[in-house]
Chains A and B, each alone.
Chain A
């Protein structure tokens, strides 16, 4: 898992906390580094797509695994 510069576990957190935690992590990262976010909030799927699109941080992956939503974001 060395390919991720940081990981944010937002399991159990509701809107807008997963986004806010992800943003905080991205702020401390270098351009091109990758962030992995795990969330359980169903709304986070659309929210992370919107967040990454508006902030210019590419969403490399958005997937679901037994109730967990995984997002891989590249710092833009």
Chain B
């Protein structure tokens, strides 16, 4: 049986947005899929050497908050200074408590299991980012390179 292929486009750079691509990619690799993730726009944050991912309730009414704050806390106040840091800290605490993998760990497993990580060269240029800011072992390419793999893939996801 031919090896199955999973192609993912990761376009989000938040802590919550980082989980779906890395969980699915690492699991697919464990299921012997050939996997590629194309990181574009804010998704490039997931390739940084030093991850500094945050989560915010601002503009996200579906995000559960402590003390049922999502039910009564005025939306406008989620823009207050410190809210993002507070929510990120609480989320990280929950992640550790519940035995959920860190993004760092999932990313390491992806690299160890041969997932190809591709940074969108156009976005790197657009945001004046430098290759030194990113982890080693990644490729830099564009849309045509993505299609070379995605066109042959069994599953193709945009996240």
A-side interface residues, number (CB < 8 Å):
13
Q: Which residues from B are CB-within-8-Å of A60?
A: none
CB nearest to A23 among chain B residues: B30
A residues 8-37 touching B (CB-CB < 8 Å): 12-17, 19-20, 23
Contact A17 B31 (CB under 8 A): no
A11 to chain B, nearest CB (A): 8
Which residue from B26, B30, B113 sits with its C-beta under 8 Å from A51? B30
| Given contact pairs A16-B23, A16-B26, A20-B26, A55 touches B31 in the complex (Cβ within 8 A) | yes
Contact A55 B32 (CB under 8 A): yes
Q: Does A54 contact B (CB under 8 A)?
A: yes
Q: How far apart are the CA atoms of A69 and B157 in the complex, in Å?
A: 31
Give a binary string over B91-103; 1 marks a CB under 8 Å from any A CB, 0 the rest.
0000000111100
Contact A54 B99 (CB under 8 A): no
B40 to chain A, nearest CB (A): 24
Q: Does B124 contact A (CB under 8 A)?
A: no
Q: Which residues from B are CB-within-8-Å of A23?
A: 30, 113
Q: Does B109 contact A (CB under 8 A)?
A: yes
B residues 8-35 touching A (CB-CB < 8 Å): 23, 26-27, 30-32
Shortest 4 CB-CB contacts between residues of A and residues of B:
A23-B30, A16-B27, A13-B99, A12-B99
Interface residues of B (CB under 8 A from A): 23, 26-27, 30-32, 98-101, 109, 113
Interface residues of A (CB under 8 A from B): 12-17, 19-20, 23, 41, 51, 54-55
Given contact pairs A16-B23, A20-B30, A51-B31, a sample of 13 additional A-B residue pairs in the complex whose CB atoms are under 8 Å apart: A12-B99, A13-B99, A13-B101, A14-B98, A14-B100, A14-B101, A16-B27, A17-B99, A17-B100, A19-B30, A20-B27, A54-B31, A54-B32
**A-B contact list, 19 entries, CB within 8 Å:** A13-B99, A14-B99, A16-B26, A16-B27, A16-B30, A16-B101, A17-B99, A17-B100, A17-B101, A20-B26, A20-B27, A20-B101, A20-B109, A23-B30, A23-B113, A41-B99, A51-B31, A55-B30, A55-B32
